């Protein structure tokens, strides 16, 4: 982890759950971490919990390209050039069959999960390309590979994140910029508050390891993906499904 010492890392959705666990791991490697999150109170609590001078926070709505661009300028002006991006911001959305799914809910989930990924990657990857160095990890989901019933918007949005990652990875492959995605199974975070108990039970039943993912397990995989040691692999998808994934 000392290989990322002094590097500037942006973690979206960094105030809680997977994002916060990743932030802790990056701080352990002496990186400078900027937490981006839409929840100002959660950002304050996260900064208090992390108790590190190497942490900065920016309140940003990833669905707004203008806010994301402003956050990029703010972070690079105050902390330094962004070398690492872990894009974890996302929502689960409602659980309902597709034929009953609220079109407004569909638009909301796609806006946060997919448009947000486009906005953040677009804003940060440009500087990485110019400097010929960067590491990006987009947090997708096993749902993006397999499709979960009663979660059409979430599944579709995460499939989009996988495809976007593969496209960007190929576009930047000639540079020392690695762009990869991870596909976690469910982890018991606050995102569960958005799901029905029936859907939570369904997700657990599909995991051969018969338990939910731990956020520290995600952080361990991400730690390597964002390090200089990951100098060849790009446009790839790394599984964290506990044996559920079929490809």
- Catalytic positions, written as ranges: 154
Which tokens is 183 given? 């596909």
- In DSSP terms, which residues pair with 235 in a beta bridge? none
CA nearest to 48, candidates 91, 15, 4, 10: 15
First to last CA, the chain: 29
Residues 204 and 116: their CA atoms lie apart, in Å, by: 27
Q: What are phi and psi of 211, to 5 degrees?
A: -155, 165
Q: Which residues lie below 8 Å from residue 85, measured CB to CB, with a gap of 6+?
A: 9, 10, 12, 120, 121, 124, 125, 128, 134, 135, 136, 137
Which tokens is 117 given? 């990924």
Q: Give the helix, strand, coil percentages of the chain, each rounded to 5.
A: 50, 20, 35
Which tokens is 189 given? 């975070």
DSSP string covering 180-198:
EEEEE--B-SGGGGGS-HH
CB atoms within 10 A of CB 209: 12
């Amino acid at each position: 982890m000392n290989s990322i010492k002094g590097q500037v890392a942006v973690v979206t959705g960094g105030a809680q759950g997977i994002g916060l666990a990743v932030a802790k791991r990056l701080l352990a490697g002496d990186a400078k971490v900027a937490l981006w999150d839409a929840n100002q109170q959660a950002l304050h609590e996260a900064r208090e919990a992390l108790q590190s001078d190497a942490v900065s926070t920016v309140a940003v709505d990833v669905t707004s390209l203008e806010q994301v661009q402003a956050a990029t300028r703010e972070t690079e002006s105050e902390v330094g050039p962004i070398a690492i991006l872990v894009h974890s911001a996302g929502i689960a959305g409602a659980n309902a069959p597709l034929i009953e799914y609220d079109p407004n809910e569909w638009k909301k989930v796609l806006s946060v999960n997919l448009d947000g990924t486009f906005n953040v990657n677009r804003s940060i990857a440009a500087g990485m390309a110019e400097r010929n160095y960067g590491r990006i990890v987009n947090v997708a989901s096993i749902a993006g590979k397999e499709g979960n019933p009663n979660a059409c918007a979430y599944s579709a949005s995460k499939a989009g994140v996988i495809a976007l990652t593969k496209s960007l990875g190929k576009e930047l492959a000639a540079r020392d910029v690695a762009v990869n995605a991870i596909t976690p199974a469910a982890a018991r975070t606050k995102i569960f508050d958005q799901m029905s108990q029936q859907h939570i039970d369904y997700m657990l039943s599909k995991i051969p390891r018969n338990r939910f993912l731990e956020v520290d397990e995600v952080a361990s995989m991400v730690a390597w993906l964002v390090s200089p040691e990951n100098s060849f692999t790009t446009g790839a998808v790394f599984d964290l499904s506990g044996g559920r994934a079929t490809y």
